[in-house]
Amino acid sequence: MEGLSVAAYKAASDYFLNAVELVTETTWSRPGLGEWSVLELVGHASRAFTTVEQYLLFPVAPESPGSSYFSPESIERRGREAVEALGNDPQAAARDCARRAIELVDSLPADATLGSPIRTMTLGEYLPSRTAELTIHTLDLLRACELEVSPPPAALEESLVFVAQMSLRKGSGKHVLLALSGREALPTGFSVY
């Protein structure tokens, strides 16, 4: 697969991996995001690699909106599993996950079918969500580690487009547009996720 989505995914992957390399031994247990530690945040973000591989090689049927898959407990469980998968060397594990996912993406066409719990879609449709996850969580990681590294333009652009599209699907596009153009503030805690 070639194109902007792949270039953005690779840029976001490099951005994430470079940030993970900056995590020091004493920083892994520091608060990362919400109740997650830095290690748990890295484990969660690494799912932007493992889900690409999993849903392409072992597609699953979509889950219904009220399914337990989307429950806080299930999300927590998947997070714990992602941390366990990092093992004793989270940096090496993240690099390995990224390498496998990128090799797979490079070997497939954009219209390769991917079966996720959200819905069945093409790889080209799914990849922007993984780019956004990597870019957003890298920013979270850098903030938690009190570091400042600018995101690559391709990853930032794809992430912004994806988040804007999410706001449209959630019915908040008007509010996001007004906020981004300086006309109104978004409510505290607003999220398109």
Structural domains of the chain in order of their starting residue, each with its CATH number: 4-180 (1.20.120.450)
The whole-angstrom separation of Cα 139 and Cα 9 is 15
Supply the pLDDT for residue 156: 97
- Is the separation of the CB atoms in 13 and 49 below 8 Å? yes
Supply the pLDDT for residue 65: 85
Confidence at 2, pLDDT banded by 50, 70, 90: low
- Is the separation of the CB atoms in 66 and 51 below 8 Å? no
What is the per-residue pLDDT across 110-152, written as a single tens digit (0 to 9) for each? Answer: 999 999 999 999 999 999 999 999 999 999 999 999 999 999 9
What is the per-residue pLDDT across 40-64, written as a single tens digit (0 to 9) for each? Answer: 999 999 999 999 999 999 999 999 9
What is the per-residue pLDDT across 8-47, written as a single tens digit (0 to 9) for each? Answer: 999 999 999 999 999 999 999 999 998 899 999 999 999 9
The whole-angstrom separation of Cα 6 and Cα 18 is 18
At residue 1, does pLDDT exceed 80?
no
- Closest listed residue to residue 128, CA positions, set 168, 160, 169: 160
- Is the separation of the CB atoms in 19 and 142 below 8 Å? yes
DSSP summary character for residue 27: T
Supply the pLDDT for residue 3: 62
Supply the pLDDT for residue 157: 96
